[in-house]
């Protein structure tokens, strides 16, 4: 009988083991975790553009507003015991955590065995995309809502500035929203309005529909928005517009745009559909008021948003988001995996968003009449 060589099990390199101890597959699920976070981080832009706070040991987070104070000349001999008007006035805004936001998929073990490609990594990225999409949409809706509100500080003679709505163009056509000259004018109007309302210049940004963004890029030869020394490369890279009037510009398919998300074709928009858009390009705004299942803040109904909003300009104080549970990953294992012969891949987070300082929020709109307040 031929002698068989053997390898000491202690010499085996267990690539899934943590620090040479414990479960030999403990590290294998980290691929899913990392992919999910990449998918989330690469597809959300709103998270870093507003005030973000972590919520612990409570259901809501309180934000305090402090109004302005007056000044006066001192009369010699008079005691100084504070202004006679009792200023500053103080108000509050509470942001409540919504119910758990999840995205999940069941992966059958046999499918993984038979597939010639890696399933979990791809699914995990799509889970991250789904969470990021909802995250951005809620925050952008909160900012648009804030642009239509008065300030929470409304004491007599101490009312603080509220939100701003700026018309893009002068016709009744939705196509005004895609005119580069109209947009540039609206940006300068927005910058002036925020200056007049005492909003800090730090952290000002705008989020536009992709076609609006590219319309601006095409006009850089005449409008001076890009340094002419880098104009060629900027145009070709699609990143030619850095800022207008100190407002940094982003593009997103998740802003409320003419009654839909991100884009709208046909009608008076002047934009022709590229065709084969599927079911996820330009979906209609859904109802997301406090009466909707799982929602504890008010993100407005589709009717309240209307069909004329076409862009957002804001400073980071315009809205706040509280996170009780940041983006996390959970995967079934053990007896559950045995019973179902597969694993549930779950991405989850718990958050809530709302406007904070209306003066820091500007909503762009088309048409003769500004969208009404909520």
| Rounded average pLDDT over 185-207 | 96
What distance in Å separates the CA atoms of residue 97 and residue 252, rounded to the nearest whole number?
24
Is a pLDDT exceeding 60 seen at residue 7? no
Question: Which residues sit opposite 294 in a β-bridge?
Answer: none
Is a pLDDT exceeding 50 seen at residue 350? yes
Tokens of 82: 């504070």
Write out pLDDT tens, residues 165-179. 999 999 999 999 999
Is a pLDDT exceeding 60 seen at residue 1? no
| Rounded average pLDDT over 106-117 | 82
| Least confident piece of the model among 61-75, 113-127, 264-278, 347-361 | 113-127
pLDDT tier, 220 (very low <50, low <70, confident <90, very high otherwise): low
Q: What pLDDT score does 52 carry?
A: 93
| Rounded average pLDDT over 245-269 | 94
pLDDT tier, 235 (very low <50, low <70, confident <90, very high otherwise): very low
Q: What pLDDT score does 14 carry?
A: 67
Is a pLDDT exceeding 90 seen at residue 240? no
Is a pLDDT exceeding 90 seen at residue 57? no
Strands 319-331 and 51-54: parallel
Task: Kindly list the structural domains of the chain, giving each domain's residue range(s) and its CATH number in brackets, ordered by start.
Answer: 30-66+88-365 (3.90.1690)
Residue showing tokens 């998740």: 254
pLDDT tier, 228 (very low <50, low <70, confident <90, very high otherwise): very low
End-to-end CA separation in angstroms for the chain: 87
What distance in Å separates the CA atoms of residue 127 and residue 125, rounded to the nearest whole number?
5
What is the b/e burial string over 198-216, where b = at least 16 CB atoms within 10 angstroms of the residue's CB? ebeeebbbbbbbebbbbbb
| Rounded average pLDDT over 176-186 | 95
What pTM value is reported for the model? 0.86
Write out pLDDT tens, residues 281-310. 999 999 999 899 999 999 999 999 999 999
Write out pLDDT tens, residues 207-219. 999 999 988 887 7
pLDDT tier, 8 (very low <50, low <70, confident <90, very high otherwise): low
What distance in Å separates the CA atoms of residue 100 and residue 102, rounded to the nearest whole number?
6
Q: What DSSP assignment string belongs to 146-195?
A: HTTS--S---TT-PPP--EEEE-SSSS-GGGGG-HHHHHHHHHHHHHHHH
Q: What pLDDT score does 109 carry?
A: 87
pLDDT tier, 234 (very low <50, low <70, confident <90, very high otherwise): very low
What is each CA distance from 75 to 70, 72, 79, 80, 81, in whole angstroms? Answer: 16, 9, 9, 9, 13
Is a pLDDT exceeding 90 seen at residue 183? yes
């Amino acid at each position: 009988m031929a002698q068989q060589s053997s390898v000491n099990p202690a010499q085996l390199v267990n690539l899934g083991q943590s620090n040479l101890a414990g479960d030999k597959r403990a590290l294998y699920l980290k691929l899913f975790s990392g992919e999910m976070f990449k998918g989330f981080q690469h597809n959300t832009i709103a998270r870093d553009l507003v005030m973000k706070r972590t919520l612990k040991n409570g259901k809501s987070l309180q934000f305090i507003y402090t109004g302005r104070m007056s000044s006066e000349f001192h009369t010699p001999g008079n005691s100084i015991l504070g202004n006679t008007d009792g200023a500053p006035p103080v108000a509050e805004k509470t942001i409540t955590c919504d119910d758990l936001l999840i995205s999940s998929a069941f992966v059958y073990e046999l499918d993984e065995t038979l597939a010639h490609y890696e399933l979990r990594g791809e699914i995990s990225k799509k889970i991250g995309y789904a969470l990021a999409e909802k995250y951005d949409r809620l925050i952008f809706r909160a900012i648009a809502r804030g642009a239509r509100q008065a300030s929470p500080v409304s004491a007599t003679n101490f009312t603080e500035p509220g939100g701003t709505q700026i018309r893009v163009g002068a016709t009744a056509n939705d196509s005004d929203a895609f005119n580069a000259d109209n947009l540039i004018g609206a940006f300068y109007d927005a910058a002036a309005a925020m200056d007049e309302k005492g909003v800090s210049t730090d952290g000002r940004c705008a989020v536009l529909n992709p076609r609006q963004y590219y319309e601006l890029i095409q006009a850089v030869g005449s409008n001076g928005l890009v340094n002419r020394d880098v104009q060629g490369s900027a145009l070709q890279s699609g990143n030619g517009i850095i800022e207008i009037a100190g407002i940094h510009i982003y593009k997103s398919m998740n802003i409320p745009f003419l009654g839909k998300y991100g884009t709208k074709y046909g009608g008076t928009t002047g934009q022709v559909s590229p065709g084969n858009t599927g079911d996820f390009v330009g979906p209609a705004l859904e109802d997301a008021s406090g009466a909707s299942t799982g929602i504890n803040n008010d993100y407005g109904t589709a009717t309240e948003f209307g069909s004329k909003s076409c862009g957002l300009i804001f400073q980071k104080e315009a809205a706040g988001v509280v996170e009780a549970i940041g983006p996390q990953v959970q995967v079934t294992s053990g007896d559950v995996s045995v019973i179902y012969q597969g694993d549930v891949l779950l991405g989850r987070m718990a958050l809530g968003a709302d406007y904070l300082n209306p003066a820091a929020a500007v909503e762009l709109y088309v048409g003769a009449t500004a969208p009404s307040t909520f």
